[in-house]
Amino acid sequence: MVNVELHQIAVIGGGIMGRSIATKVSQAGLSVLVKEITPERAEEVKQRLDEALQHQVERWTLTGAEKRAILSRITFTASYDGITQCQLVIETIQENFDDKKRLLSELDQLLSPQVPIVVNTSTLSITELASGLHWPERVLGMHFLYPVPTTRVVEVVRGQVTSNEAFEIARYFARVLGKVPIEVFESPGFVTTRIVLALVNEAMYVAMEGVASPAEVDLAIKLGYDFRMGPLEWADRVGLHKILNWLQHLFDETGDPKFRPCPLLRKLVRAGHTGARAGKGFFTYDAARNRIDRLPDDTPQLS
Quickly name the fold that domain 8-185 has. Rossmann fold (3.40.50)
Q: Give me the mean pLDDT over the 35-47 stretch.
A: 97
Judged against a pLDDT cut of 90, whether residue 302 lies above it is answered with: no
Q: Give me the mean pLDDT over the 269-289 stretch.
A: 96
pLDDT > 90 in the chain, percent: 88
> Boundaries of CATH 3.40.50.720 in the chain?
8-185
Rounded mean pLDDT of the chain? 94
Class of domain 192-278: mainly alpha
Q: Give me the mean pLDDT over the 109-131 stretch.
A: 94
> Residue 21: its pLDDT value, please?
95
> Residue 303: its pLDDT value, please?
47
Q: Are the C-beta atoms of residues 200 and 231 closer than 8 Å to each other? A: yes
> Boundaries of CATH 1.10.1040.50 in the chain?
192-278
> Residue 301: its pLDDT value, please?
64
Q: Are the C-beta atoms of residues 101 and 94 closer than 8 Å to each other? A: no
Q: Which helix (H) or strand (E) holds 26?
A: helix 16-27
pLDDT bracket for residue 1 (50, 70, 90): low
pLDDT bracket for residue 288 (50, 70, 90): confident
pLDDT > 70 in the chain, percent: 99
Judged against a pLDDT cut of 70, whether residue 159 lies above it is answered with: yes
> Residue 269: its pLDDT value, please?
98
> Residue 161: its pLDDT value, please?
96
Q: Are the C-beta atoms of residues 212 and 220 closer than 8 Å to each other? A: yes
pLDDT in tens, 59-102: 999 999 999 999 999 999 999 999 999 999 999 999 899 999 99
Q: How far is CA 165 from CA 138, 146, 170, in A?
A: 8, 27, 9
Residue 142 CB contacts under 8 Å (≥ 6 apart), including other chains: 90, 118, 119, 120, 154, 155, 156, 157, 170, 174
